[in-house]
Amino acid sequence: MNILLQNKKTLTYVTDVSTWTTQHEKAQLFGTGIEALFFCFNRHLKNMQILGEFVNPRINFTMPVTDLSGG
């Protein structure tokens, strides 16, 4: 399974701390959903979603990342 982060508004993917891409194959892969979640929280990223991609695309999922800071 691949775990990626995508901005829901721009549909761009995280590649590293300061770079975004529209190219799915250049997206940073995270080891777990928790790592992806902490990446968002630590960088105060908004409008994000975690993508879980499997060999069988029928079980792929997206999970919105909610801003817990209240702001």
DSSP-based three-state secondary structure for 8:
coil
Q: Is residue 9 part of a domain?
A: yes
Q: Is residue 71 part of a domain?
A: no
Q: Is residue 70 part of a domain?
A: no
Instruction: Please check the confidence at residue 69 and state whether its pLDDT lies above 70.
Output: no
Q: Is residue 46 part of a domain?
A: yes
Q: Cα-Cα-Cα-Cα dihedral of 55, 19, 65, 67, to 10°?
A: 170
pTM, to two decimals? 0.87
Q: Is residue 54 part of a domain?
A: yes
pLDDT in tens, 3-58: 999 999 999 999 976 799 999 999 999 999 999 999 999 988 989 999 999 999 99
Q: Is residue 58 part of a domain?
A: yes
Q: Is residue 49 part of a domain?
A: yes
Count of domains forming the chain: 1
Q: Is residue 69 part of a domain?
A: no
- Starting at the edge strand that comes first in sequence, how are the strands of the sheet with 61-64 ordered? 19-21, 13-16, 2-7, 48-53, 61-64
Domain span at 55: 2-64
